[in-house]
Chains A and B, each alone.
Chain A
Amino acid sequence: MPVSAIKAVAKPQNGVGAFILPCKSMTFHYCNWWGSSRGMNAFLKSSLPAFAKRNPQIQITVSPRPRHHPEIIANYINGAQESICVKNLQNEGVREKAELLRSHTGEKNRKWDGRPVRSLNESVRGIWSPFHGSKVKI
């Protein structure tokens, strides 16, 4: 055959067509006895229904964990798990932490390799070539 083909797999571009929120599920742990859970309990009673209604794509579980500090655990599409201990925080603080976990991608924080832009597509202008365009006088 004059031309054959190389096997490949198309790369995902989340948000180009459909957007899938990376946060998959969240678990809220609370304690009825310890004072560090007071803000968490207030959040569960007052703000969690609104939070769940705003984010129907997240599976939300509430479970007691007696004699422990309150904690929010989030699972992500890429298999990562993030948890934040929300001891002694007020209702508003717990809500902020929940929003933080919700908007997280699950990727680790890392430094990119110095390039200002990373893209699947090469630059529109292509790589600079010394043989094309006007001559550069030094």
Chain B
Amino acid sequence: MKRIPISRCASQLLAPSPLPRRPLCPYAAAKHARRSIVPHSHRVQARFQSTVAVPDEGDLELEMAAHSGPASTSHSRSEPLPLESLPSPHPSAAERSTRLHALRSRLSLPTRFPLQALARTLVHPSADANPAFNNASLSILGRQLLGYYMTEWLLCTYPRLPMDVIFAAIEAYIGPKALATVASEWGIEAAEEPGGEIDSGLLQFKRIRTGDDLPAALRRQAPWKWNVTTTHKIMTTDEFGSEDAPPSPHALEKTPVPSEEAAQAFVRALIGALHVHLGSPLVKRFFRDHFLSRHLDISTLFDFRTPTRDLSHLCAREGFESPVARLISETGRLSRHPVFIVGVYSGRDKLGEGAGSSLDEARVRAAAAALKAWYLYKPAEVTVPSSMEGALDTSTWRPNYVDCGEVIV
């Protein structure tokens, strides 16, 4: 979980609220502004969306020449270059790809979302090293947005969750495995080998060969210092509480990567592209429909070591009477299958109840149930901070509950 500074929150790329008619989509804006330019310069326009400086213009020249064709007035080069010389498909091929049209409708995206942008999200930096045409910058943006929306929803909905459980829940929703599953559920197919001649609707990345080692950027590295604290995990590493920062997508240029890495980069880049072209309200809806709708039972993520001790510390901290375990009922104490039902009481209030085949097991289960009941508290009405972005009427805002945190033993 990485903290996003306020200045970098999702409203950065959007117009301030008093300007309602500013075109949100840079593609549309560029199209209107640059009518006079020759039509095959999509890739040149797309260059301006990237955050990384394009090293040389030679590539662009080459690709433009490859697609100018005999119809346009190309005096200098008579022969168009073969498509195979391009590292990834030309953006102008996106309009002709039936796969991309089908993918856009499958995800219920509006038709004003340009197919060129969708095609660009499918190009991993390992296929095309040019940051103007691969999805590296968009996947960085998408990663921050996914982390932001997921974290705020989780922190507002379950304000008392321990930090480790928050990390695990974020990873369950938007972790590498989850994103790769999402991509396969969207029907994304990968190309065997990236190239300019293949369909733009296929995921393009350089495959890692069977038996080869992971690239150095993806390999697990020793943490930069050995006493990694929770604060360090929150502030400086990725959103899942790892010990190291995630590899930059730009570091994966020209390196063979596993398919899971390319699939998750695509999903993140799509979120980033949606934000840039359609604005954050649609991204929030998309996130709710495709990610928050997934099923996760957060109560199964807890792994208590000593729940009875935690519970007594919790009661001491909150000023409750210290917990007492009492036998509620039992059966077959002398048989092979005894069952004991034990409740944990604080004064006259029952905090939790558990069943077990021994008295001790039942007591521990009851304490764990009581702790889960505390940690999984859910306020009835929740408004997440991003729902107020750019809103004129903020009267619906309800301040969120902030808990003092998990029990420290």
Residues of A within 8 A of B (CB): 1-14, 16-18, 20-21, 24-25, 56-61, 77, 120, 129-131
Contacts and interface: CB of A to CB of B under 8 A. Distances in A.
Contacts of A58: 102
Contacts of B378: none
Given A2-B407, A77-B186, 4 more contacts: A3-B164, A3-B305, A13-B295, A59-B98
Contacts of A12: 181-182, 185, 294-295
B173 A56 contact: no
Interface of B: 98-99, 101-102, 105-108, 162, 164-165, 167-169, 171-173, 175, 177-178, 181-182, 184-187, 201, 286, 288-290, 292-296, 300-306, 309-310, 313, 328-329, 331, 341, 355, 371, 406-409
A25 B304 CA distance: 47
Contact of A21 (B106, B201, B306): B106
A5 B329 contact: no
B301 A56 contact: no
Contact of A11 (B102, B167, B201, B294): B294
Contact of A3 (B165, B288, B331): B165
Nearest to B165: A5
A6 B301 contact: yes
Nearest to A55: B105
Q: Is the interface of A mostly helix, strand, loop or mixed?
A: loop
Given A9-B172, A10-B172, A12-B294, A131 B328 contact: yes
The 10 closest A-B pairs by CB, nearest first: A17-B293, A5-B168, A17-B289, A56-B105, A10-B294, A18-B289, A57-B106, A10-B296, A59-B102, A5-B164
B295 A120 contact: yes
17 contacts: A2-B313, A2-B409, A3-B302, A5-B169, A9-B177, A10-B295, A16-B295, A17-B290, A18-B289, A20-B107, A24-B102, A24-B106, A59-B101, A77-B184, A77-B187, A131-B331, A131-B341
Contacts of A56: 101-102, 105
A16 B177 contact: no
A52 B177 CA distance: 33
Nearest to B175: A9
Contacts, number: 119
A10 B175 CA distance: 10
Contacts of B306: 2
Chain B CB within 10 A, most for which of A3, A24, A120: A3
B376 to A, nearest CB: 12
Contacts of A21: 106
A94 B168 CA distance: 49
B198 to A, nearest CB: 15
B316 to A, nearest CB: 14
A8 B300 contact: yes
B323 to A, nearest CB: 15
Contact of A77 (B101, B185, B300, B328): B185
B168 A7 contact: yes
B111 to A, nearest CB: 10
A25 B408 CA distance: 54
A9 B305 CA distance: 22
Nearest to B286: A18
Given A17-B289, A57-B102, A8 B296 contact: yes
Nearest to B111: A56
Nearest to A23: B187
Contacts of B371: 3
Contacts of A25: 102
